[in-house]
Chains A and B, each alone.
Chain A
Amino acid sequence: MTGLEPEPVPEGEVPRQRFVPESLPAPDGGPGTKPNSGTSVMRVATPGMITLRGRIRSEPIASAVRKAIGIDIPEPRRILSVDGRSLAWMSPDELLILTPLGGSGSTIAALSSALEGQYALLADVSDARLCFRIAGPSSRELIAKGCPVDLSPEAFSPGDFRRSRLGQVPVALWMPDPGQFMLLCFRSVSDFVEHWLQNAAQGEFSGYL
């Protein structure tokens, strides 16, 4: 999605391993709390990003955005992607528009003309945030060590988007495909977030999800 150049990941979600209490005989010899099995954390190239503030559900704004980008306004807490660009719902009056790397300028130009005369604010925020990719069978568990979002597959899957917290800092996250998460944090705390993610990637996982 959107110029993030994900490395190939396994199709679909890796089957989850179940936590089996140690006093129980495991019917199929399954594991207890599971060890880290190839879950990876890495910085990835940050997409172009634009903040749009406006009454995003109103028809004039929605149709202007559709005209400029060709994507409908996403439902609350969702992200929609078409042809390398995405719209992420940030709040009832804020969208985050993701473009291919370096593509924010042309998109802003298109949006500005489509929104001419509308009461809305556009700002290029491509440098404000940095992006991480978390991939592998335990990526949900890894993030759940510090993020209060329900990350179970029933509650969070590709198309969902959340602004939340990780450790002590604000983040936004979504799943470009079933095997991985993208996570945005503010540029100034990216060292902290990277350290946090690497720390969480070590050792065992709870095996809950």
Chain B
Amino acid sequence: MSRRLSEGGRLIDREVPLGFLWNNRRLTGFRGDTLASALLANDQQLAGRSFKYHRPRGIVTAGPEEPNALVQLGHGASSEPNLRATTVELADGLRATSQNHWPSLEFDIGAATGYLAPLFAAGFYYKTFMWPRVAWKHVFEPLIRRSAGLGIPPTQPDPDHYEHYHAHVDVLVVGSGIAGLVAAGAAADAGARVLVLEQNPEFGGRAPVDGITVDGLAASEWIDDCVADLAWRDLVRVRNRTTVLGVYDHGYVFACEHRPRPNMDKSRADAPRQRLWRIRARQIVMATGAIERPLAFAGNDVPGVMLASAARDYAVNFGVGIGDRVVVVTNNDSAYLTATALAEAGIGIAGILDIRESPAGPALDRARAVGLDVRTGMSVASVFGRRQVLGVSATASNGDGARTERIVANAVVMSGGWSPSVHLWSHCGGKLAWDANRGCFLPDADRPPAGADGVGMVIPVGAANGTMDASGIPDEAVRAGREAARRAGHRGRRGRQSSASHPAQAEDAAESQPELAWMVPRQAKRSLRSRAFLDYQNDVKVTDIELAVREGFQSVEHAKRYTTLGMATDQGKLSNVNGIGILATSMGQEIAGVGTTTFRPPYTPLTLGAIAGEAHGPLFKPVRKTPMDGWHDDHGAHWEPVADWRRPYCYLRDGETVKAAINREILNTRRRVGLLDASTLGKILVSGPDSGRFLDMLYTGRMSTLRQGRCRYGLMCNENGFLIDDGVIARLGEETFLCHTTSGGSDRIHAWMEEWLQTEWWTWKVWTVNLTEQFVQVGIVGPEARTVMERLGNIDVSDEALRFMDHVDGELAGFPVRLFRISFSGELSYEIQLPAAAGLEFWTQALEAGADLGIQPYGTEALHVMRAEKGFIMIGDETDGTVTPQDLGLDWAVSRLKSDYLGKRAQARSYLNAPDRWRLVGLATEDPNAVLPDGAYATDGSRQQDGGKTMIGRVTSSYWSPTINRSIALGLVERGPDRMGEVIGFPVESGRTIRAKIVDPVFLGQDAGANA
């Protein structure tokens, strides 16, 4: 029976009630509540069902480590699954539903699996793969898929918005407990820029709840003063509701800030729902505190069993009592704080079971002084109840649990000691060491995560560093803050020494020395061990770890994966250490020898929205546009992405199909004249005394012999001999070339050039500039192209003055241009390059100049078809990173005389010269109307060893050619050029095979379209 107490609750405002819906039931809480505290205030201890056995589970913590109370928040588009009720701030109108059950939380059919628990032992999932083979596909996989998964992802677009924020700081302090605040003040005093991040809405960590006093002040008062002091310092920034999720190389840190919403179902137009902080910190002070561990005893997962610290939080922070008669079971002093706090709040304590034989100390003295029943050397043997605690059986902590005594109770609080929150230390390589005295893994100061300079970049302080006693914290934190500032480059500069953030002393109400027991009672028989849970969310029990050990999964990493211990959404924040303890015990080893698994980011789950930030909708990905983009869009452009550019695939006229538009554009260009926006082509200026030599190395052909005013087609290969790019190179001057690249290759090829110049040939005198964005390029193509050119300006474009592969500078339509006579279609073709700002004006003038000649723009598909008709290859179609120039019959573009070029050595390898390589051919389908699918494979009817069909070739380009009125295709076929005239089969969908004859790749002969 959990309930709201009549008094207390330092974080809630009883004047402001908030209505909310829990599984469609209307409940009320107060401002300042978490969803978890509000549920407990309404006697709703049952909060969810476990993942595997669907056991009823209650709220077990009061923080982000919560494994059980995962809820679905909101509904419709703004719904969010798998939120921890312990960290959800209550808001008016909040809707939450529990997860992982059917048909209801109270009655869940899936719980039947609990009775079959022996069948679902550790490694069950993996064993389903093994035998019988057919069962996986038809029995286990459907079953597992249906029962797996927690919340339900929303199906509509998220109406909220998210953003990123880049922050730079000298010292990042994670956590605003006493340790973090003092360290922040000390670092700022030393002159460092400091950012303090607190995951909770309120500052101070555990100190206000745990009865700590600082310089004679109650912790909460001191914290208010200290945060106020820090927040108004110029060097310090303080943020709440911001969880640090991960620490990466060189002090790169991710943190997620939650912006509260006034109403859960309303998205905020004015503010992001979450802000992902991308922080570059020189130093990180890890003041992340510690997380209490459960104890492993039978029935430790019954709703109503809770961490002792959480019960204290609910009473002190929220004025919520977790029961009327509470049993306390502990192996250390801190649970006594809970016992006295609950007793002071008027909650009955049914007894304190301390597993230690003879504990002593002020905490015990205070408990005894208020009349609490402390029973030493005792523990819980088992919890009665299924959906709520009805009582416990108590037994000797060193025994086997046989002799018991029944204690009536409706809640159990437990403390198995504390685990420092060392996640951030571990994320980037910091090592941990087991401290047997304090019973926890601690940051190993000798093996910190190192920054770019090899110096440790994370400094642990306070409970995160194993300092459980508050009295030790102020001095340690001052040292940590100063050291962080010093490492960040602020050496010895004395700022102000604020007394507010620089306490002389702190006093703790309890000292904590646990006596470790990984299972209580220590000699528990199997019937108890098999009901003692380690990982609540993944239903891993003590006996599961023991089974894993017996089956040979003894490495901590193996045992984790075999049992799924710590692999749930809580990443084992409660379970890891206990599981490792059981593992070590089962193998008769020390924990130090077993070691620990690695913590990985994120510390708590984050939303995809936060990761995406603003990058959705129109900002999902940059779209590169040419200066004529708007014209294309106004004239029916049917877009296609080409690398990051968008280019018109074709221009649709009213009522026209895509196919009709393509055919129209091709025929118009072949018969009259077409206009192409080729601005996306890469244009790289290469200049310097060694530029010819440089290009001779980059291209397979020889470029140094190119004469000024001439162009040459070039192929570029990587060191493995495979084609990576092609394009036309123009020699502009004695030492200057302009290299065209493919549209997708401009940045990549420029980087490729710079890489060679900077890392291999740094003595060569060559400079490069990527001019792709400086110029537009317009193709005027077709039999009437010359007439259009003559109307646009006074450049002599006759065959005599401007031969095929010539270029010349001049003026057209009033703009300075560079004119190339090059062709990718076989037609008479001019490409005009001019400054980008003039691009649109030139484009429209060219259209006007050719209007009476029937000029029409054409898109990329017409371009592709026309080049395929001529058998010209396309990088990315005929090449896929494993194709050489020789494979494509481009030997003519490969110099045999050059002593070297990139790829030459590789092309001499036997494999690249093998006679059975797949080589370029044309493919003429027997049925001229059948267009082969792109990528279709040819088979020869034989079978491989594995039963698969033997493939002998594939289609690389395939189109309908309106010019020759039949389908055309290019393909790579084994020994292709040696098999001219042979017919091969391409099996396509539904058992059909398209038969095609191997032909020359040039479909449009020398006589047709030969005006180039």
Contacts and interface: CB of A to CB of B under 8 A. Distances in A.
Interface string B765-789: 1011101111100000000000000
A169 B622 contact: yes
Interface string A130-160: 0000000000000011111111101100000
Interface string A112-133: 0000000111011111110000
Given A145-B614, A192-B619, A204-B270, A23 B240 contact: yes
Contact of B765 (A51, A119, A152): A119
A140 to B, nearest CB: 11
B270 A203 contact: yes
A162 B701 CA distance: 39
A144 B835 contact: no
Nearest to B271: A204
Contact of A121 (B272, B278, B624, B767): B767
Given A191-B625, A192-B619, A203-B272, A123 B774 contact: yes
Interface stretch (B128-136, B162-170, B344-352, B844-852): B162-170
Given A121-B685, A208-B165, A24 B774 contact: no
Indicate the member of A148, A189, A199, A206 with the most B CB atoms within 10 Å: A206
Interface in A171-195: 186-189, 191-192, 195
B728 to A, nearest CB: 19
Given A19-B237, A145-B164, A189-B622, A119 B614 contact: no
A5 B627 CA distance: 24
A121 B687 contact: yes
B201 A23 contact: yes
Contact of A18 (B195, B232, B260): B232
Contacts of A192: 619, 622-623
Contact of A191 (B161, B623, B687): B623
B238 interface: yes
B627 A187 contact: yes
B199 to A, nearest CB: 12
B269 A203 contact: yes
Given A167-B619, A203-B270, A203-B271, A148 B767 contact: no
B853 interface: no
Contacts of B271: 33, 203-204
Given A148-B166, A203-B269, A204-B270, A125 B622 contact: no
B280 interface: yes
Nearest to A21: B240
A19 B238 CA distance: 8
Given A21-B231, A23-B240, A54-B767, A188 B166 contact: no
A23 B203 contact: yes
Contacts of A169: 622
A106 interface: no
Interface string B621-659: 111111100000000000000000100000000000000
B228 A24 contact: yes
B385 interface: no
Given A23-B201, A188-B624, A206-B275, A195 B619 contact: yes
Given A22-B240, A127-B774, A206-B275, A167 B767 contact: no
Nearest to A204: B271
Contact of B280 (A35, A126, A150, A188): A150
Indicate the member of B224, B260, B280, B767 with the most A CB atoms within 10 Å: B767
Contacts of A128: 771-774, 836
A58 interface: no
A25 B619 contact: no
Contacts of B768: 53, 121
A123 B835 CA distance: 12
Given A148-B278, A150-B280, A123 B622 contact: no
Interface string B598-623: 00000000000000001100110111
Contact of B165 (A25, A53, A145): A145
A187 B773 contact: yes
Interface in A3-43: 18-25, 27, 33, 35
Query: What is the predominant secondary structure among interface residues of chain A facing chain B?
Result: loop
Contacts of A121: 685, 687-688, 767-769
Contacts of A200: 163, 614
Contact of A189 (B166, B624, B836, B837): B624
B769 A127 contact: no
Given A27-B232, A53-B769, A128-B774, A206 B837 contact: no
Contacts of A19: 237, 239
Interface residues of A, number: 53
Nearest to B11: A23
Interface in B141-190: 161, 163-168
Indicate the member of B166, B167, B238, B259 with the most A CB atoms within 10 Å: B166
A196 B614 contact: yes
Given A119-B765, A127-B774, A168-B622, A145 B228 contact: no
A50 B418 CA distance: 63
A189 B98 CA distance: 46
B689 A119 contact: yes
A168 B240 contact: no
B202 interface: yes
Interface string B675-711: 0000000000101110000000000000000000000
A18 B771 CA distance: 44
A208 B619 contact: no
A42 B26 CA distance: 50
Interface string B217-232: 0000000100110011
A128 B769 CA distance: 11
B551 to A, nearest CB: 48
A196 B328 CA distance: 56
A128 B772 CA distance: 8
A124 B769 CA distance: 10
Nearest to B257: A206
Contacts of B278: 148
A36 B169 CA distance: 24
A152 B237 CA distance: 13
Contacts of A21: 203, 227, 231, 238-240
Contacts of A149: 166
A135 B751 CA distance: 34
A127 B816 CA distance: 13
Interface in A82-127: 93, 119-121, 123-127
B14 to A, nearest CB: 17
A87 B322 CA distance: 69
A151 B169 CA distance: 11
A129 B622 CA distance: 15
A151 B166 CA distance: 9
B167 A144 contact: yes
Contacts of A146: 164, 166, 614
A187 B836 CA distance: 9
Nearest to B771: A123
Indicate the member of B161, B231, B271 with the most A CB atoms within 10 Å: B231
A25 B225 CA distance: 10
B80 to A, nearest CB: 20
B960 to A, nearest CB: 32
A187 B195 CA distance: 37
A155 B625 CA distance: 34
B773 A188 contact: yes
A11 B615 CA distance: 35
Contacts of B627: 187
18 contacts: A18-B232, A23-B240, A25-B228, A33-B271, A124-B774, A125-B771, A125-B773, A128-B771, A128-B773, A128-B836, A144-B166, A155-B168, A187-B627, A199-B619, A200-B614, A203-B269, A203-B272, A208-B167
Given A120-B767, A152-B168, A195-B619, 18 more contacts: A33-B271, A53-B769, A121-B685, A121-B687, A121-B767, A123-B774, A125-B771, A127-B773, A127-B835, A144-B166, A146-B164, A150-B168, A152-B193, A168-B615, A189-B625, A195-B618, A200-B163, A200-B614
Query: Closest 3 CB pairs between A and B?
Result: A188-B624, A150-B168, A121-B767
